[in-house]
Amino acid sequence: MSDMFEQAAREKFRFDTSKGQVTVEDLWDLPLSSSSGKASLDEVAKGLHRQLKSDDSISFVTPATKTDETVQKKFDIVKHVIAIRLAENEAAATLRANREKKQNLLALIAQKENEQLAGKSLEDLRAMVDAM
């Protein structure tokens, strides 16, 4: 994978978006998708996919051109960035869910402790206060 990014840096890959060209570094800052017409990783990937699938670049006689190879490499980079961003989003969602669950459990524990204390006699509660 690092070879792919090294080559992109050496060859100064630029990626077309609806808002202009972006660098490999800029890909990490783009949202995964956008409904407001902003540049997104999905938009970049779709554009590269269209370039790869265009009929005039297909030949069963001549080997792939350097342009075809460059587009494929760009497409692979964008797919890699998307995969990492999706994994990061999933990890963040799991962390958020676990944090919320922990908060709920701690609230229930506090509630049970209060219920347990409420069940103690007045003398026991005074003794506990005096022990502090």
pLDDT digits (tens, 9 = 90+) for 86-116: 999 999 999 999 999 999 999 999 999 998 8
Nearest to 66 by CA among 11, 22, 3, 6: 11
Beta-strand runs (E) in the chain: 15-17, 20-22
What are the tens digits of pLDDT across the range 37-92?
789 999 999 999 998 887 565 666 666 666 788 899 999 999 999 999 999 999 99
Q: Where are the beta strands (DSSP E) in 15-126?
A: 15-17, 20-22
**Domain map of the chain by residue range?**
2-130
How far is residue 64's CA from residue 52's CA, in Å, rounded to a whole number?
11
16/24 Cα distance (integer angstroms): 11
